[in-house]
Amino acid sequence: MFSIIQKSIRYFTTFETENGKLKHIFTPEGKAPPMKKGFEYQYFLKVEAKRKSASGVNHLGNTRVVLSQTGKTLQQNGYYPFGMLMAGLPQPEEYHDNKYLYNGKELQDDFELGWYDYGARFYDAGLGRFTGVDPLADERVYLTPYNYAQNNSVSRIDPDGALDTKYEDEKGNLLLETNDGSDAVIKITDDKRKGFDAAVKGTENTDDVAWNKTMKKYALGFELSEKQESLLSSINSDWSRKAAIDYWKTGETSAGIKFVLKEVLSQWTNPELVVAGLSAGVAGYSPKLRSISKNVDNAANSAKNWLGKDYKAITNKAGDNIFISKDGMRKMRFDIKNSHGDKPHIHLEQKINEKWKGATNIHRIYPKIK
């Protein structure tokens, strides 16, 4: 049985009221509920919501401990990967029931639902899913509209459902993730790292759209157009997005083929996709890329027909995605890295006398370059 309790909670920029009375004031370090005389300042020990350097603090923004202004522990929390609270943690005698927990969001426990309030939607940490449809779902048709942080709660957050830009160093380490409405992955080369760090330190808002445009132009040497930003949001992996940016930087057809091959591979290995061909965004971007995507798609479909139905995907020791036929006698891989200097192609092998050898009819399929 639920008991009905009527209460009115209102939220303002820096304070919250309940039934018309001040409940607490928000501060940069936590909050301050009113006392008989003055306020009691409470401090949230948490990890920051963004990393400003690869060696910096963690990134999820979870409130781990609440301290009083005298240093006493008022609450401590532990979380499972998608934000569900760990039960059984010992709590101090002077326990304070703080509700601002996972990602710093408020836990709404009305009717015992246990949902977090993210602003536009509520989030169920037990399911790892939002309870409502993503307002930007049409930007990522390859994901369920209820997904949280693209199903990667370890390295990503989803402050309000908007798209985000990731900045990485030359080794692929995450330097900064911003909530600017873009979906780009930008490499900060070593020679530009000092300027990048200074720019991050010098701004109060790394989510600002104009700041991110300037930062991308600084890192890439050119400004991404609206059409390019739209394409980045329509493709299926950060791997593909990096390759798309490399293609735009060089303009080389071989770089375009690498990008499209990576996009095909991303689609083939994404269980949420039913692959019938490349995304419309890639195929419709430009006449040149349309021609490349058509040729790559034809080559990939030829390989798919050669494999047969019900093939399975595995990852080998080198980290390559390998596709094996149902009977285990044929396999293929996308040879994109080309450490041996060959052009990007699809590599086909078949098992003969218990040994893998190049397919007798077609060993390699090369997308045609016009």
Tell me whether residue 158 is in a domain: no
Among 226, 214, 223, 160, smallest CA distance to 234 is for: 226
pLDDT attached to residue 51: 39
Are both 188 and 72 inside the same structural domain?
no
Are both 65 and 80 inside the same structural domain?
yes
Q: How far apart are CA 263 and CA 231, in angstroms?
A: 12
pLDDT attached to residue 57: 34
Tell me whether residue 214 is in a domain: yes
Are both 15 and 120 inside the same structural domain?
yes
Number of domains in the chain: 3
Q: How far apart are CA 140 and CA 279, in angstroms?
A: 11
Q: Which of 187, 208, 231 is the last residue of a domain?
A: 231
pLDDT attached to residue 118: 83
Are both 226 and 269 inside the same structural domain?
no
Are both 190 and 314 inside the same structural domain?
no
Structural contact between residues 242 and 187, judged by C-beta atoms closer than 8 angstroms: yes
Q: Which of 208, 231, 254 is the last residue of a domain?
A: 231
Residues paired with residue 345 on neighbouring β-strands, in sequence order: 335
Tell me whether residue 156 is in a domain: no
Tell me whether residue 327 is in a domain: yes
Are both 215 and 242 inside the same structural domain?
no
Are both 272 and 345 inside the same structural domain?
yes
Tell me whether residue 342 is in a domain: yes
Burial of 177 from C-beta contacts in 10 A (0-12 / 13-18 / 19+)? buried
Q: What range defines the domain where residue 31 resides?
A: 9-127
Are both 320 and 296 inside the same structural domain?
yes
Residue spans of the chain under pLDDT 50: 49-58, 271-276
Burial of 366 from C-beta contacts in 10 A (0-12 / 13-18 / 19+)? middle
pLDDT attached to residue 197: 92
Are both 306 and 266 inside the same structural domain?
yes
Q: Which of 67, 101, 127 is the last residue of a domain?
A: 127
Are both 222 and 251 inside the same structural domain?
no
Are both 96 and 207 inside the same structural domain?
no
pLDDT attached to residue 53: 32
pLDDT attached to residue 206: 85
Are both 273 and 327 inside the same structural domain?
yes
Q: How far apart are CA 316 and CA 332, in angstroms?
A: 12
